[in-house]
Amino acid sequence: MLQNAGMTRRSFLGATASAAALLGLGLVGCGKPAEKASEVKANKDATITIAAAYKTKNFHPSNTSSALACGTNWHVVEGLYGIDFRDYSVHKELAADDEPTKVDDTTFEIKLRKDAKFSNGNPVKPEDVVKSFERATAEGNIYIPMLSPIESITKKDDNTVTVKTKFPFELLKQRLSIIRVVPADVDDKTLTAMPIGSGPWAYEKVDGETQIIAKPNKEYNGPYPAGAGTMQWDVQVDATARKTAFSEGTDMIMESIPAEDVDTIKGMDGVKVDQVQGFGLVFMMMNAKHKPFDNVKVRQACRYALDVDKMIKNTFAGQAAGLTCYLPENHTNYHKASTVYTHDVEKAKALLKEAGYTPGKITLSTTDSDFVVSMSAQVQQDLEAIGFKVEIQKNQSSAMYSAIDQNPQSYDIALAPGDASCFGNDPDLLMSWYYGNNTWTTTRTQWADDPKCKEVQDLLAQAVQKGGKEQQDLWNKCFDIIAEYAPLYPVLHKKVSTAYYAEKIADFGGISTTGVYAVGAKAK
Query: Which residues, other chains included, contact 241 with Cβ-Cβ below 8 Å and sequence gap of 6+?
Result: none
3-state secondary structure of 491: strand
Q: How far apart are CA 161 and CA 116, in angstroms?
A: 15
Query: Can you give the pLDDT of all 524 residues of the chain as single tens digits?
Result: 333 333 333 333 333 333 333 334 433 333 355 455 778 999 999 999 999 999 999 999 999 999 999 999 999 999 999 999 999 899 999 999 999 999 999 999 999 999 999 999 999 999 999 999 999 999 989 899 889 899 999 999 999 999 999 988 888 999 999 999 999 999 999 999 999 999 999 999 999 999 999 999 999 999 999 999 999 999 999 999 999 999 999 999 999 998 889 999 999 999 999 999 899 999 999 999 999 999 999 999 999 999 999 999 999 999 999 999 999 998 999 999 999 999 999 999 999 999 999 999 999 999 998 899 999 999 999 999 999 999 999 999 989 999 999 999 999 999 999 999 999 988 989 999 999 988 999 999 999 999 999 999 999 988 877 889 999 999 999 999 999 999 999 999 999 999 999 999 999 999 999 999 999 999 99
C-alpha 452/C-alpha 478 separation (Å) is 10
In 3D space, the residue among 151, 72, 171, 199 whose CA is nearest the CA of residue 424 turns out to be: 171
| Residue 300 phi, psi dihedral angles, 5° rounding | -65, -40
Q: How far apart are CA 201 and CA 515, in angstroms?
A: 16
Give 184's contacts (C-beta < 8 A, 6+ positions apart): 125, 127, 128, 130, 131, 132
Angle between helix axes 427-435 and 468-485 (nearest 10 degrees) is 30
Write down the pTM of the prediction.
0.83
CA quadruple 381, 383, 384, 385: dihedral sign = positive
324 CB-near residues (< 8 Å, 6+ apart): 336, 337, 340
- Nearest CA to 284 among 173, 175, 366, 397? 366
| DSSP tag of 247 | H
Q: What is the 3-state secondary structure (H, E, C) of 111-172?
A: EECCCCECCCCCECCHHHHHHHHHHHCCCCCCCHHHHCCEEEEEEEECCEEEEEECCCCCCH
Phi, psi of 391 (to 5 degrees): -105, 130
Please work out, in degrees rounded to the nearest 5, the angle formed at the alpha carbon of residue 404 by the alpha carbons of 398 and 406. 100
pLDDT digits over 423-448, tens only? Answer: 998 898 999 999 998 899 999 999 99
Amino acid (one-letter) located at 99 = E
Domains and CATH numbers, the chain: 47-270+502-523 (3.40.190.10), 277-496 (3.10.105.10)
